[in-house]
Structure 1
Amino acid sequence: MEIRSYADYLRALDDAALIAIFSYRPDLITPVPPDIASLAVRASSAPSLARAVDGLNKWQLQVLEACAVMNEPFTEKEIASVTEKSALFVLPGLIERGLIYQDKDGLRVPSTLREVLGNEIAGLGPASLGTLKLKKLEEAPDAAKKVLDAMFWGPPRGAISDLKKPSAGVQWLLDEKFLIAFNQQTVVMPREVALYLRGNKVHRQLENVQPSVTGTTRDLRNVQLAAIANITTFLRWTEEVLNFWAQEPATALRSGGLGVRELKELSAHLGVDETCAAFVAEVSYLAGLLTIDPDDKILPTHQFDIWLTQSVSVRWQSLASAWYISSRMSGLVGKEGQKNVAPLGPELDRSMAAATRRLVLQLLNENSAIAPDLDSLHQSAQWLAPSKRSGGLQLDYVTWTLREAEWLGITGQGVISAYGIDFLQGGDNESINTDLPQPVDHILIQSDNTAIAPGPLEHEVAQDLALIADVESRGGATVYRFSESSIRRGLDHGRTGEEITKFLAKTSKTPMPQPLEYLIADVAKKHGKLRVGNTASFIRCEDSALITQIMGDKRLEILGLRKIAPEVLICGHDAAEAMNVLRSCGYLPAAEDSRGLLLSGPRIQRAQSKARPPRIIGEIDRPDEIHIQGALRALRTGEKSSRKQSTMRNIATEALGSLPRTTANETLELLSDYLQNQPSTSLSIGYADNNGLVSHRIIDPLKLSAGSLVARDHATGEVQTFRIARITGVAAL
């Protein structure tokens, strides 16, 4: 009966009221229900009501809890009496959301709502089944008053040692029905008793005002400088991560995601902690710039190459937007108690992630003049989103959002930046292109085999320098160090010693020191002298002295080398493994193919499969006006159709109730008569299905053919064929 009453209420609403409900609760039209009855079932279901409750602030939730504990039907005056008069301004918003509805007797709530709010709403127990003499509470003995004082603000349950031997105070309360025995060790306080002792108030403290956000002021110019520096840094991190994995792809875990060892390597390469490295990898994954191939290799996609050609503002927006709407939380990586949670893995989804980001950034935008204190921001966010399903908005979620917004440059020094405000308002962030430091095309080589980049390098210079030098420190200027291994990396990528020297001489504003020239020449001379290929693998070298040295090196006994010619050794390990061992022992081998050709050249790899960004869970976007209007039209049309079918069934039932059962021949004669003499008459027939169940149909007969009747069914509007033998009776409407 309750669902039917709720459906009648929804049927009585005009278009504006239904549009308001759909705006607050988009899940009601995702997908569009066939009629109002189906809409009522969905709107009163626990999952839909839970989503609607999650959209309330603390004051709205308190008013709704007051409504849920009242006896139905209740009035606005009764709600004001158990809360305060300002609650009257909250009730219309709850009605708009369909959490309260009006019938002829007063206000009601969907019964499932009480299950969503919990068994002990506002710390109140169940209603008493009988009439209580509440005035007698004033005569309660002192022992009973102590029990009452401990229970009336909740929880309404109390533990006792044995129901058969209660204390004097508990015994008095049980006798007067002010406590109810739940089991042998538990008693419960009826709701009426608690409300009486609370002074007819549902809550001890009404939270009808949002807590203010406090913080410290920052110089706006410094905020902008910090934000643009963060944007520059994050874009560089993203590019470095993808270039790093393009050269040396990481291998994903069997369960999916990035392993601990690979994460540590990435963290060391970027020069940041593991939480930051995990976040950079996650954002790249969300933006479709990297993916996990079927062979479990983590590689950049071809989208990365397109991304590199775009303007800085477009590149930044693609990353920030992917983070903003995602349901994944990279902050869970490395959190204590969160085992087996890996970046890029399947365990990072949280349904409240995107809603938390929107809420935190909204508060930052509303308090754009200060860097908020974490505690005050968390309290304000909790008031806006009590989030009953998850037990309250977690402090960790707010902390991670602030940290990640700072990394991205949405904030600078804790204050939302102009770029962040423009981003939230849907702007194009073109100002990033002009505010960003102009890239430089030169470096300053030092005498200690280091080079200083005095600003962000142009893309081509940065790519070439990354092949032959390792980043030693970052900041306003980046310091690169040249070493034997870094020069060898450049040679492995197809550069010659002469090309490296020319590049550095051309790019550096300072003369190239002689030790660096000697280092490059020495490594280039040794590179490729020792070559490794696959037999299982072979090692070939024209320098017989070097062959003798390798055979005598005890560190290489693990390779199981065997000399088969003056210049050739064979090994039981594959070529890649043999090269790694040789390099770790200080040798500089190069790879060659089966034809003896030196395998040196660019080894930039790309994923073979398309990017597969993770799906977003737990969020239903607010529909636009066009979607809502379309859903409303479909719902109204479906309701008319359902009403028409119901009316036709009732007419058919009444008509067929008086029909005599006829044989097939008699039915055929009646149908022939109607078709010849009254062809425009609609008929009511009974029709048996394969299981013998008779349904009532309203039809317009068209013709008889081979023992069947061809007619248009009013319920479906389609032309159908009915077998004469299955028609149980015929009557005109």
Structure 2
Amino acid sequence: MSGTLALASALARMDRDELSRLVHARRPHAPAAVLDPIGLASELLRPDSISRAVSLLSIVQLGALDELDAGREPDRDTIAGLLSLGLVGEDAGAAAPLPEVSAAIAQAFEAIAQRSPLDEDGDPALEAAEASAGDDLPAATNSLSEPEIGAAAWIDTALTAVGRCAECLRQLRDRPLRLNRTGVVSYSAAKWVSERIGIPVDSVQRAFAALGLAGLTTPAASEPLLLTTAESADWLEADIAERWIALAQGALGTLSGPLRAVLETHDGDLGGALSELPTAYPLLPEADLTAAANSVELAEALGLTLRGRLSEPGRLLLEGHRDEAARAAEAAIPARAQGIYLQPDLSVIVPGPLAPADEEALSALSRPEHIGIASTRRVTEAAVTEALEAGRTGEEVLQLFASLSLTGVPQPLTYLVTSLAERVGSIVVSEHDGDDGRSRISVSRPELAETLLVDRALQHLQLRRGDRDASVLFSRLRPDHVIAALSDARYLASAPGIRLDIPGSRGGDPGADAQDPSPAAVRRAEDESALAELVERVFEAARSEPGTGDFTRRIELAIRERRAVRVTAEAAGQSRSFTLLPVSLSGGRLRASDQTAGVERTLPVNLITAVEPV
């Protein structure tokens, strides 16, 4: 027997807010086709919809449904929660089990019983997430006491995460990165970033995941590319505490409802909650367990948890106390460093967090080697060259280093900047549309042009002099190929307006699509609108039905299922019963085909006293 009628009766009693919460929790597959409580009940009783819904039920809720099936009276609060999820119906004012839900639960448990049992080591995904708590702690914390670890170690983890995310965001700001089919940064693009900023590829992927959850990156609307959002600039200019809060809030948003529910009984022990999740929610799909493990892993990587337990700011954030969490983070983060230490070997020691403007300036002139509370960087030829090609002069670069350094500017650094400033701009490659070739190479000194012409490493460029100027050369290859060849041969060449092809990226304006809404954002807006319209239709239909609601819902279900019913009508003190195949119900009248007499009948709904299945 179908539970459609019982569920429709329960839905018809819900107000707008209750209906809205229900459809957002269950998200019907075809909201535009739902016109009334019967239609919504039919959608909610689809096998795929029920399977997903029951998989998220706790052991307590499953027990309540079992008691209801057995004819016993379960806990009222639990049943109320199941009613709000559309997993319990209503009959004569009392909660009624739905056969479809009971069958789905039985099938789910049968499927679990038929699975091959886990080996003695248990679930590898869950064990890895549990073991990750504390795996990445700095070695310096090993000798600390538990209180000291609680007060200090999460800060190091948090500052490392913020620093890595900032470096990744700056790389993305300068060049969009290609996404793979699953919507994450491709391996080749992540590897390129990894080589640029000196952190492992998996840490790059995790950083971009955290940035996306914080709303600082977005997919392009028209291409599989990742872009920065308008909020990313403000984030880079914010203090360390505010940056961390933004990342932490995004990560907490990934904690699923079941994981949060279990966490409530674990006093901030997120790792312990993850361990109990399969027991508390026995039908939870493996994909959900994996997602929960990933959420726990990300929380640990961001310093939200320490060895699985929520840090104090993490606990405050989870409870919704953002301002208090920000104050707690600010109190724990070391004071800003007054400057940096430049070493003769071109290494840079950053003893603590810098002001955002100083951090930005230093990142443009060096590459990170270690990121944490105290960081180390290195001034490289490539970094200084990029700064010079971006428009800074050698004098400006040296002045910037002098303003940041607490130990002055060492002679090797002065020599590097000065020599590069003399060489940068001596070779400029640009596009050319004439017959001479596709690339125009302007050389500052005739003798340098002569060197390029005879350099065997550049023979494949087929360089030739222009007819009018001996310091201008041409090549039939594209400018990006010429730039790459010159770089390989250790010539410093600049190319205004030209971007090299880098794995996982594309040339052009990085922000060209930044203002376009992503396809995912458009779909979310459309889905929200469709669900709001569904709620309104069902609510109005439930309150505009003529006559007795239960009778009309039985008739509507018979129309939908093309099933005959026995209808009893009473008029002038006489009662008659008909076996009818309902055709339509409108204007307070039922039009149906009389299966026995072979005629069509029309009955006023207000005269109907009973509708029963045949």
TM-score (norm 2): 0.69
Alignment of 1:643-722 (within 5 A): 643-644=546-547
Are residue 403 (structure 1) and residue 403 (structure 2) matched?
no
Are residue 610 (structure 1) and residue 541 (structure 2) matched?
no
1:665-721: per-residue Cα shift (whole Å, max 9, x none)? xxxxxxxxxxxxxxxxx99999xxxxxx999699xxxxxxxxxxxxxxx9xxxxxxx
Distance across 2 between alignment mates of 1:227 and 1:635: 50
Distance across 1 between alignment mates of 2:351 and 2:263: 33
Q: State whether residues 2 and 110 of structure 1, in contact with CA within 8 Å, keep that contact through their aligned partners in structure 2.
A: yes
Please, which runs of 5 or more residues in structure 1 have no aligned partner?
69-73, 78-85, 125-153, 156-212, 327-353, 595-602, 656-681, 687-692, 699-713, 715-733
What residue number does 1:553 align with? 455
Q: State whether residues 340 and 404 of structure 2, in contact with CA within 8 Å, keep that contact through their aligned partners in structure 1.
A: yes
Partner SS for 1:591: coil
What residue number does 1:113 align with? 101
Say if 1:695 and 1:523 are closer, same or farther in 2 by CA, change over 3 A.
farther
Aligned positions, number? 518
Q: State whether residues 530 and 589 of structure 1, in contact with CA within 8 Å, keep that contact through their aligned partners in structure 2.
A: yes
Distance across 2 between alignment mates of 1:420 and 1:40: 40
Are residue 228 (structure 1) and residue 155 (structure 2) matched?
yes
Distance across 2 between alignment mates of 1:683 and 1:27: 34
Q: State whether residues 50 and 116 of structure 1, in contact with CA within 8 Å, keep that contact through their aligned partners in structure 2.
A: yes
1:281 maps to amino acid = F
Q: State whether residues 426 and 444 of structure 2, in contact with CA within 8 Å, keep that contact through their aligned partners in structure 1.
A: yes
Q: State whether residues 227 and 417 of structure 1, in contact with CA within 8 Å, keep that contact through their aligned partners in structure 2.
A: yes
Are residue 302 (structure 1) and residue 204 (structure 2) matched?
no
Distance across 2 between alignment mates of 1:295 and 1:96: 40
User: 1:43 Cα shift?
Assistant: 5.0
Distance across 2 between alignment mates of 1:542 and 1:25: 69
Partner SS for 2:364: helix
Distance across 2 between alignment mates of 1:652 and 1:273: 77
Distance across 1 between alignment mates of 2:173 and 2:276: 44
Alignment of 1:235-250 (within 5 A): 235-250=162-177
Aligned residue among 296, 311, 314 for 1:420: 314
User: 1:27 Cα shift?
Assistant: 4.4
Partner SS for 1:476: coil
Say if 1:695 and 1:119 are closer, same or farther in 2 by CA, change over 3 A.
same
What residue number does 1:724 align with? none
Distance across 1 between alignment mates of 2:208 and 2:316: 25
Say if 1:540 and 1:44 are closer, same or farther in 2 by CA, change over 3 A.
closer
Aligned-pair Cα RMSD in Å: 5.0
1:564-596: per-residue Cα shift (whole Å, max 9, x none)? 3532211122323312221221111233689xx
2:154 maps to amino acid = A
Distance across 2 between alignment mates of 1:637 and 1:249: 48
Say if 1:308 and 1:604 are closer, same or farther in 2 by CA, change over 3 A.
farther
Q: State whether residues 555 and 585 of structure 1, in contact with CA within 8 Å, keep that contact through their aligned partners in structure 2.
A: yes
Please, which runs of 5 or more residues in structure 2 have no aligned partner?
115-129, 135-143, 433-437, 499-507, 556-566, 573-586, 592-598, 607-614
Partner SS for 1:511: coil
Alignment of 1:171-250 (within 5 A): 219-250=146-177
Partner SS for 2:545: helix
Say if 1:441 and 1:575 are closer, same or farther in 2 by CA, change over 3 A.
farther
1:489 maps to amino acid = E
What residue number does 2:250 align with? 322
Say if 1:113 and 1:53 are closer, same or farther in 2 by CA, change over 3 A.
same
Alignment of 1:64-103 (within 5 A): 64=65, 74-76=70-72, 99=87
What residue number does 2:212 align with? 285
2:425 maps to amino acid = G
* Range with greater deviation from structure 2 (41-50 or 233-242): 41-50
Partner SS for 1:490: helix
What residue number does 1:587 align with? 491
What residue number does 1:509 align with? 406
What residue number does 1:58 align with? 59
Alignment of 1:314-393 (within 5 A): 314-325=242-253, 354-355=255-256, 358-360=257-259, 363-364=262-263, 366-368=265-267, 372=271, 377-387=273-283, 390=285
* Range with greater deviation from structure 2 (411-420 or 265-274): 265-274
TM-score (norm 1): 0.59
Say if 1:651 and 1:633 are closer, same or farther in 2 by CA, change over 3 A.
farther
Alignment of 1:563-578 (within 5 A): 563-564=465-466, 565-578=469-482
1:109 maps to amino acid = P
User: 1:534 Cα shift?
Assistant: 1.9
User: 1:503 Cα shift?
Assistant: 1.6
Are residue 271 (structure 1) and residue 198 (structure 2) matched?
yes
2:50 maps to amino acid = L
What residue number does 1:544 align with? 446
User: 1:55 Cα shift?
Assistant: 3.6
Distance across 2 between alignment mates of 1:476 and 1:685: 76
Say if 1:527 and 1:480 are closer, same or farther in 2 by CA, change over 3 A.
same
Partner SS for 1:76: coil
Say if 1:15 and 1:408 are closer, same or farther in 2 by CA, change over 3 A.
same
Distance across 2 between alignment mates of 1:297 and 1:631: 34
Are residue 6 (structure 1) and residue 6 (structure 2) matched?
yes
Which protein has greater RCO, CA pairs closer than 8 Å, 6+ apart? 2
Say if 1:492 and 1:87 are closer, same or farther in 2 by CA, change over 3 A.
same
1:28-57: per-residue Cα shift (whole Å, max 9, x none)? 797797655445445544345334423422
Say if 1:296 and 1:576 are closer, same or farther in 2 by CA, change over 3 A.
farther
Distance across 2 between alignment mates of 1:58 and 1:254: 36
What residue number does 1:344 align with? none
Greater C-alpha radius of gyration = 1
Say if 1:227 and 1:5 are closer, same or farther in 2 by CA, change over 3 A.
same
Say if 1:408 and 1:4 are closer, same or farther in 2 by CA, change over 3 A.
closer
Alignment of 1:450-461 (within 5 A): 450-461=347-358
1:319-378: per-residue Cα shift (whole Å, max 9, x none)? 33334445xxxxxxxxxxxxxxxxxxxxxxxxxxx52xx444554564347684xxx644
Distance across 2 between alignment mates of 1:5 and 1:502: 79
1:444-468: per-residue Cα shift (whole Å, max 9, x none)? 1112122211112212222222222
Q: State whether residues 266 and 273 of structure 2, in contact with CA within 8 Å, keep that contact through their aligned partners in structure 1.
A: no
